[in-house]
Amino acid sequence: MTKIADSTVRRLSLYLSYLEGVEREGRDTISSAELAGLGGTTSAQVRKDLSLFGSFGKRGLGYSVEELARHLRDILGLERTYRVAVVGAGKLGSALAQYRAFGDRGFAIVSVYDSDPERIGKRWNGLQIKDTALLDEDLRSSGLDIAILTTPPEVAQAEADRLVRGGVKGIMNFTSVRLEVPEHVAVKNVNMALELQALSYALRHAHGGEI
Amino acid sequence: MTKIADSTVRRLSLYLSYLEGVEREGRDTISSAELAGLGGTTSAQVRKDLSLFGSFGKRGLGYSVEELARHLRDILGLERTYRVAVVGAGKLGSALAQYRAFGDRGFAIVSVYDSDPERIGKRWNGLQIKDTALLDEDLRSSGLDIAILTTPPEVAQAEADRLVRGGVKGIMNFTSVRLEVPEHVAVKNVNMALELQALSYALRHAHGGEI
DNA sequence: GGATGTGAATGTCTTCACAGCT
DNA sequence: AGCTGTGAAGACATTCACATCC
């Protein structure tokens, strides 16, 4: 399959969340125009995005809400459950480990690691913070799909290396470090300070609207 | 000035953070090629991005690190300090309110609001959680530039309306709600679950690399 | 009739390549 | 010689518009 743009994938995620809302209301079908309205895009964009993966709609009718949601979950790889660990149990790691929206979407936080003896052993919502030293062992015995990395920058690369050696295939990187990883590992960088700076730019230059 | 793409603004933020690293090492000049290497882009991209705002380099030499950093701070609107409030003092709000990188970049968290009586009055790092009911009054008396919105979805739009009425010009929206705001207000949507889903897509389709 | 799916047209962003300074 | 700044070319993404099917 031809390479899909990141912007497209993000829109597909949005479509899915709108579909789930509509599904809860008991609606059966939805048009590309309505989906576009909810997502702040155009009907042509919606149809084009979906057509990259197949033809899921019925001309004259629209899309079956339930069927399209299923297709999108399949496309996005959300039919399965992912085993996720949080590495770095600071404020942000703590918040993310307990973030409901992750579990709801099939991302199960199975453990939290930190190297600070002050933190090790503490419990949050039934998750006990483990010593990072146990990470290699745990990766070997139980495996992990995704890691959420929220360590201090100094140790970020070392922890990433360890995770990759242990077979992790995706890293959501909240540190300010640009991680070096092998080709087959996906890294999603999330940089809150950068987001605020983009907002700052918009204020300074008097653009309103969504960024 | 012609409209600048969001992707460009994001790269400028990255360039700035690399420059600050290089500055700490005491380097005086840097070439577009080196800056590109640090940021995972190309030298032509760096030069094009910068050229949208002026010509800051010297041919044959490169860019003055200190001077370029100053220009970027100016372009991004980071020469000033922003007054920021966090609205919604849950786990995520708590983490963000105490996030060091914000303060370091001139985003001063001046207050935190919540409507849950259980939370009101609690202190974090010298910030006391205030009752959301005080928000209108506070906005009138002291003003605010940016709000970080981390409320439950049910109240997100109502709080956004209140913030906009109180003169807030930018909202960093961590809720899953698509906010309706007047044209002149900038909204930056940050959706963690969506980021994880983009990662999930990458895993499913065996793309590695940065997303 | 009404909404999809899709080539073609348009618009936007990135890369190339080189003239022009230092 | 080295590196910037920038038109021109190329790649990519979005929008248009319409034939096609329910």
Residue B183, chain A, CB below 8 Å: the answer is yes
- What is the reported pLDDT for B2? 79
Q: How far is B75 from chain A (nearest CA, A)?
A: 7
- What is the reported pLDDT for B40? 93
Question: Which residues in window 20-49 of B are less than 7 A from strand C by Cβ?
Answer: 41-42, 44-45, 47-48
- What is the reported pLDDT for A126? 86
Protein-contacted bases of chain D (C-beta within 7 A): 1-7, 12-17, 20-22
Q: How far is A56 from chain B (nearest CA, A)?
A: 19
Q: What pLDDT, in 10s, does the model give residues A73-99? A: 999 999 999 999 999 999 999 999 999
- What is the reported pLDDT for B74? 97
- What is the reported pLDDT for B124? 84
Mutation test of the interface with chain B: which of A200, A205, A211, choosing the one with the most B Cβ atoms within 10 A?
A: A200
Q: What pLDDT, in 10s, does the model give residues A123-143? A: 988 899 999 999 999 999 999
Q: What pLDDT, in 10s, does the model give residues B102-124? A: 999 999 999 999 999 999 999 98
Residue A53, chain B, CB below 8 Å: the answer is no
Comparing CB atoms, the residue among B40, B76, B92 nearest residue A200 is B76
Output the pTM of the full model: 0.95
Name every residue whose Cβ is closer than 8 Å to that of residue B137 and which is 6 or more positions away in sequence: none
**Nearest residue to A124 via CA among B196, B95, B71:** B95
Q: Is the pLDDT confidence value at B206 over 90? A: no
Q: Is the pLDDT confidence value at B65 over 90? A: yes
Tally of CB atoms within 10 A around A164: 20
What's the CA gap between A88 and A85, in Å, rounded? 10
Q: Say if the Cβ atoms of B200 and A169 lie within 8 Å.
A: no
| Distance in angstroms: CA A175, C1' D14 | 33
- What is the reported pLDDT for B96? 97
Please write down the HEC assignment for all residues of A1-16.
CCCCCHHHHHHHHHHH
| Distance in angstroms: CA A196, C1' C4 | 39
Across residues B25-30, what is the average pLDDT?
A: 96
Q: How far is A200 from chain B (nearest CA, A)?
A: 6
Q: Is the CB of A32 under 7 A from strand C?
A: yes
Edge-to-edge order in the sheet of strand B209-210: A123-124, A127-131, A107-114, A82-87, A146-149, A170-173, A186-189, B209-210
State whether the Cα torsion A45-A48-A53-A59 is positive or negative.
positive
Q: Say if the Cβ atoms of B13 and A77 lie within 8 Å.
A: no
- What is the reported pLDDT for A1? 66
- What is the reported pLDDT for B1? 63
